Amino acid sequence: MLEFFYIGLQTTVMWVNLLAIALGVVIGLIFGAIPGLSGVTAVGLLVPFTYGMSPVTGLLLMIGVYCAATYGGSISAILFNMPGDVMAAATVIDGYPMTLKGEAQRALAMAIFASFVGGIIGTVILSLVAPQFVKVALTFGSPEYFALAMLGLAIVGSIGAKSQVKALLGVTFGLWLSTIGLDPVSGISRFTLGNAMLQAGIGFIPAIIGFFAFSEIFARLYDKHINKDFDPKVIKDARILNFPPRRDITENAGTILRSSLLGNFVGILPGAGATIAAFLGYGMAARFSKRRQDFGTGIVEGIAAPESANNAAVGGAMVPLLTLGIPGSATTAVMLSVMILHGLRPGPLLFQRMPDLTYSVFVGMFLANVVMLVFGMFFVRFLIRLLLVRFEVLSLFIFVFCVFGAFSIYNRFVDVWVMFACGILGFFAKKFDFSIAAIILGLVLGSIAENGFVNGISVTRGDFGAFFIRPITLIILVFSVLFLITPFLLDFIRCRKEIAARKVAV
Amino acid sequence: MKRSIALAVVLLTVFSLFALGGCGERAKTEPPAETSDGGPEWPSQSEVIAAIDAMIADFNEKEYDLDQAIAELQKVIPKPEGYPARSIEYVIPWGEGGGSDSYARHIGQDAAKIMGVSIVYNNMPGGGGEIGLAYLLTQPADGYTIYGAIANQTINDALGTQPHSFTNDTDFIIRNQGATEIYWVRADSPFKTIQDAFDYAKANPGRLTICGAGAGGDDEFRIASLSKELGTDIIYVPYDKVGERTTSLLGGHVDIMHETAGTVIDLYKNGDIRPLAYGGSIVFNEIDPSIPCIADLGFSVPVGRWRGMVTVKGTDPKIIDYLHNSFYAASKLPYYAEYEVEFFQHLPKAYLNSEEFEEYAKHEVEGLRDLAKELGYISD
């Protein structure tokens, strides 16, 4: 096996391939960081360019984009309250409050560090235990997907810091949005108002662009407090090399490790993805942390958890692609298409047939993460100055990118209308203090929960008992229930103690 | 200063993209020497493809290289006046990495060279292909927008769920791919033959689970028809993504998977899965000649997953002929032909010319409409 790594290393360090990785990382950072544009858009646009490249070079380019875009989304999430890519939707919750507290630099440093560690852990797991790991993922059938979605929904209590009721309403609204379009089982149109274009449903990407980025523009215009006043001196004095302070690293090491493992596993499942990994990572951290009541107010842990989870999911998504020849995410689907166009057949025989390709992918992902760390750390200093740019100017560009980004994913104009509509809804949600993250959570998990439930009932042949007591399903569902009730339970215990204490005092 | 740096970065990025791509092959832009003046001697599709076949036979004996072959093909294929003058948009109504995407991009590569213009692929997924179709129908009938159709379109037409009709609102160009679905089981499945599975299904109605691609598509119709003819109840589990279908079989969550041969052939070669029966009416000797096909067992096969191209109704018949001939020629050139073999698409005799394709699709819609009524999908 070591010799294969050596072959992979030899292939990867050829200058074209190194250039491809570096270029991929830069493109990924740009597409990831700009709200509206996303990694999927970048990879899709790059497909024609890969025709003329060798398959390894083309794949490494895309891997660079994939890794960097997954991190890049957090930059605008932290600085502007607008996730640049869908995977960063959970990073907004604590990222933007940190910027408002004047801790943008600390937040950005943690984002790049957590992304790097997550990415490396994902890559190591991919290259060492991919075939064994995929066997574990195979035990996930539809009922398990349903349970996973329930676990994801259960974290809603952690993201609606201000009002639990409003968070629940938001999540319900998101779930309803996810039912628009064709019914996944009977194929009947739902809530499409007879519009053929709405049959495709509400896409995540246009919805997320609308709910976060567009609504932010509206909200700031409405508030007339369009430019948040940041201290220019602090921003200009940003350090050159942005490595998080040692205390942040030691305090969050456990969170990052747990999130990375969780994110990597969720990434392997072909029905889930990096966005869900990030939400689950955040939720886990928010439940198990000592500072659980501070989540949502802008703490570093709230960035470390989702960022390490979504970058670890990148390595995870490559597992089914390389071991079974089936894509685990939208980006890996594009990679699969590039491999097929080059006459390669990803599948269980790829490892034997083309060890140089698979092992260059492993080495390439490793290098991409390193390049991403270096670029990320140096760019933070410049990126942070974007806070000083007048928002009137910035918002114009973001507006254009949002429209372009929403359209370019599937070339459907209806997605632009969806984005506008979500932007207006998001504006009112912000005005009335509904959590947008909760709406997105419902939208992202809705179809997984629905497919998992309906297909799961088919898989267990209509037996509800068998559905709920499958070992993995049961464990995850019990966890979900615990997630939901622990805050109330803790409150209850605290009240009892207080009452008891008062009685003693009396 | 800053502006010049930004400009330099942009230029460098664009430049290195091209550099990575080598010199980047360019489609030939010069039109072929002779253009038909569109007189009365416009040859029929079958005459042209006979000439193409003869040429390809020559080419396969290595008398000339690919560039010459394409130049020769340009001479053989009669060109309508003034077409194509700009790039052609190919609407792929499914996502990247899927079967329709591969089909379009493989057949399009050499077709673009033959036609001398580029083909712009436009992935527009959603609604079982109907979003892309709805978009196609808003385009002018000038032959510059073509649409990659599959069996979902005839099914939706039969069900009448759309405001448009696939067979009546489009002009048919060519069909290149036919059904290659196989009923697969996990290697350690208790079902040794398809008969075992049928016996189990008959003895235990509502217990046998078969997964396939999506709701309301060709897979569902096949399973529903099979279930009806067996007189039992088979549970059909629809999964949109190929990854979910494969993992649900490998993980033992469903009993049988109904899937095209090419997508999962490596899993078969690796010994993870084995075929029980061929889904259509042909036995694939290249895979396993010892197992039967469903049609030989006496079941009807209402629909299979074919792939072809259509365009907007009312397009000039000469343009249709030209597109048909160009794509036919491209399908015989090595890039597409090798892909076809790799994905077992050469096994079904799938090619249909424009007229045959239209007739076939209309016939399929009729049959599906009757079946849908029988199965209770539509009333009346």
Query: What is the C-alpha separation between B127 and A197, in angstroms, rounded?
Result: 8
Does A313 or A351 have the greater pLDDT score?
A: A313
Using CB atoms, which residue from A19, A52, A140 is nearest to B24?
A52
Most confident option among A347-361, B50-64, B123-137, B162-176: B162-176
Is the pLDDT at B31 greater than 70? The verdict is: no
Task: List all residues 6 or more positions away from B133 whose beta carbon is below 8 Å from its beta carbon.
Answer: B93, B147, B149, B153, B162, B164, B166, B170
Nearest residue in B to A140, CA atom: B251
Give the mutation candidate from A182, A331, A386 for the B interface (greatest B CB count, under 10 A): A182
Instruction: Say whether the peptide bond before residue A320 is cis (omega within 30 degrees of 0).
Output: no
Is the pLDDT at B162 greater than 80? The verdict is: yes
B124 touches chain A (CB under 8 A): yes
Residue B125: which region, alpha, beta or left (left: phi > 0; alpha: psi -120 to 50)? beta
pLDDT at A330: 81
Phi/psi of residue B122, nearest 5 degrees: -130, 95
Using CB atoms, which residue from B13, B96, B238 is nearest to A44?
B96
**Using one digit for the tens of pLDDT, what is the confidence trace for A455-472?**
998 888 888 888 888 888
Task: List all residues 6 or more positions away from B235 whose beta carbon is below 8 Å from its beta carbon.
Answer: A458, A461, B206, B207, B208, B209, B210
Confidence of residue A154 (pLDDT cuts 50, 70, 90): confident
Confidence of residue A289 (pLDDT cuts 50, 70, 90): confident
In this prediction, residues A429-456 reach a mean pLDDT of: 90
Residues of A in contact with B161 (CB under 8 A): 187-189
pLDDT at A505: 73
The tokens for B299 are 């079941």
pLDDT at B203: 94
Nearest residue in A to B266, CA atom: A347
**Using one digit for the tens of pLDDT, what is the confidence trace for A315-336?**
999 888 888 877 778 888 888 8
Residues of A in contact with B97 (CB under 8 A): 327, 332-337, 340
Task: Please give the distance of CA B117 from its chain centroid, rounded to a whole number.
Answer: 22
Give the mutation candidate from A353, A455, A463, A473 for the B interface (greatest B CB count, under 10 A): A455
Residues of B in contact with A328 (CB under 8 A): 243
Tell me the nearest-neighbour CA distance from A330 into chain B, angstroms: 8
pLDDT at A121: 95
Which of helix, strand or coil describes residue B33? coil
Is the pLDDT at A301 greater than 60? The verdict is: yes
Does B161 or B52 have the greater pLDDT score?
A: B52
Using CB atoms, which residue from B20, B272, B342 is nearest to A16?
B20
Report DSSP state, residue A388: G
pLDDT at A182: 83
Using CB atoms, which residue from B131, B246, B252 is nearest to A412?
B131
B266 touches chain A (CB under 8 A): yes
Confidence of residue B32 (pLDDT cuts 50, 70, 90): very low
Using CB atoms, which residue from B106, B214, B251 is nearest to A140?
B251
Tell me the nearest-neighbour CA distance from A326 into chain B, angstroms: 5
pLDDT at A490: 76
**ipTM exceeding the 0.85 mark:** no
Task: List all residues 6 or more positions away from B139 whose beta carbon is below 8 Å from its beta carbon.
Answer: B89, B145, B312
- Asked whether the CA dihedral A191, A197, A200, A202 is positive or negative, the reply is negative
Using CB atoms, which residue from B130, B269, B342 is nearest to A199?
B130
Is the pLDDT at A495 greater than 90? The verdict is: no
Which of helix, strand or coil describes residue A435? coil
H or E segment and range at residue B8 = helix B2-20
Tell me the nearest-neighbour CA distance from A48 into chain B, angstroms: 10
Is the pLDDT at B36 greater than 70? The verdict is: no
Query: What is the C-alpha separation between A419 and A42, in angstroms, rounded?
Result: 19
Is the pLDDT at A163 greater than 80? The verdict is: no
In chain A, the largest separation of any two C-alpha atoms, in whole Å, equals: 83
In this prediction, residues B340-356 reach a mean pLDDT of: 89
In this prediction, residues A123-127 reach a mean pLDDT of: 91
Cα dihedral B3, B8, B10, B12 in deg (nearest 10)? -170
Q: Are the Cβ atoms of B21 and A50 closer than 8 angstroms?
A: yes
pLDDT at A355: 81
Whether residue B176 contacts residue B103, with contact meaning beta carbons closer than 8 Å, is answered with: yes
pLDDT at B171: 95
Is the pLDDT at A94 greater than 50? The verdict is: yes
Nearest residue in A to B204, CA atom: A461
Pick from A222-231, A439-448, B237-246, B331-340: least confident: A222-231
Q: Are the Cβ atoms of B20 and A348 closer than 8 angstroms?
A: no
Nearest residue in A to B208, CA atom: A461
Residues of A in contact with B209 (CB under 8 A): 458-459, 461
Would you tell me which residues 216-245 of chain B have a C-beta closer than 8 angstroms to some C-beta of chain A? 216-217, 235-244
Whether residue B131 contacts residue A199, with contact meaning beta carbons closer than 8 Å, is answered with: yes
Using CB atoms, which residue from B124, B239, B266 is nearest to A348?
B266
Nearest to A364, CA basis, from A65, A38, A138, A83: A65
pLDDT at A16: 92
Q: Are the Cβ atoms of B13 and A23 closer than 8 angstroms?
A: yes
pLDDT at A164: 79
Does A14 or A381 have the greater pLDDT score?
A: A14
Which residue is associated with the tokens 């003819």? B229
B301 touches chain A (CB under 8 A): no
Q: What is the mean pLDDT of chain B?
A: 86
**Using one digit for the tens of pLDDT, what is the confidence trace for B275-326?**
999 998 889 988 899 999 999 999 988 888 899 999 999 999 999 999 999 9
B120 touches chain A (CB under 8 A): no
Whether residue A206 contacts residue A416, with contact meaning beta carbons closer than 8 Å, is answered with: yes
Would you tell me which residues 180-219 of chain B have a C-beta closer than 8 angstroms to some C-beta of chain A? 206-207, 209, 214-217
Does A373 or B4 have the greater pLDDT score?
A: A373
Pick from A11-15, A85-89, B21-25: least confident: B21-25
Pick from A126-130, A448-452, B187-191: least confident: A126-130
Nearest residue in B to A145, CA atom: B244
Using CB atoms, which residue from B161, B209, B214 is nearest to A458?
B209
3-state secondary structure string, A94-136?
HHHHHHHCCCHHHHHHHHHHHHHHHHHHHHHHHHHHHHHHHHH
Cα dihedral B226, B228, B229, B235 in deg (nearest 10)? 40
Nearest residue in A to B343, CA atom: A345
What are the E-state strand segments in A395-451?
Answer: none
Report DSSP state, residue B141: S
pLDDT at A161: 58
Query: What is the C-alpha separation between A190 and A186, in angstroms, rounded?
Result: 11
**Using one digit for the tens of pLDDT, what is the confidence trace for B44-69?**
999 999 999 988 888 888 777 888 88
Using CB atoms, which residue from B21, B95, B238 is nearest to A49?
B21
Task: List all residues 6 or more positions away from A387 whose beta carbon is below 8 Å from its beta carbon.
Answer: A79, A99, A104, A228, A230, A235
Query: What is the C-alpha separation between A354 and A224, in angstroms, rounded?
Result: 59
Does A320 or A347 have the greater pLDDT score?
A: A320
Nearest residue in A to B242, CA atom: A326
- Asked whether the CA dihedral B273, B276, B279, B285 is positive or negative, the reply is positive
Q: Are the Cβ atoms of A320 and B243 closer than 8 angstroms?
A: yes
Is the pLDDT at A26 greater than 60? The verdict is: yes
pLDDT at B24: 37
Query: What is the C-alpha separation between B80 and A180, in angstroms, rounded?
Result: 45
Tell me the nearest-neighbour CA distance from B48 into chain A, angstroms: 28
Confidence of residue B2 (pLDDT cuts 50, 70, 90): low
Using CB atoms, which residue from B97, B215, B270 is nearest to A337?
B97
Q: Are the Cβ atoms of A325 and B266 closer than 8 angstroms?
A: yes
**Using one digit for the tens of pLDDT, what is the confidence trace for B81-120?**
898 999 999 999 988 777 899 899 999 999 999 999 999 9
Whether residue B222 contacts residue B302, with contact meaning beta carbons closer than 8 Å, is answered with: yes
Using CB atoms, which residue from A53, A410, A414 is nearest to B20?
A53
Residues of B in contact with A196 (CB under 8 A): 127, 130-131, 134, 162-164
Q: Are the Cβ atoms of A200 and B126 closer than 8 angstroms?
A: yes
H or E segment and range at residue B173 = strand B170-177
The tokens for B171 are 């002009």
pLDDT at B190: 95
- In chain B, pLDDT over 70 holds for what percent of residues? 89
Q: Are the Cβ atoms of B21 and A459 closer than 8 angstroms?
A: no
Whether residue B75 contacts residue B30, with contact meaning beta carbons closer than 8 Å, is answered with: no
B272 touches chain A (CB under 8 A): yes
Tell me the nearest-neighbour CA distance from A347 into chain B, angstroms: 6
**Using one digit for the tens of pLDDT, what is the confidence trace for A33-73?**
998 888 888 998 898 888 888 889 999 999 999 999 999 99
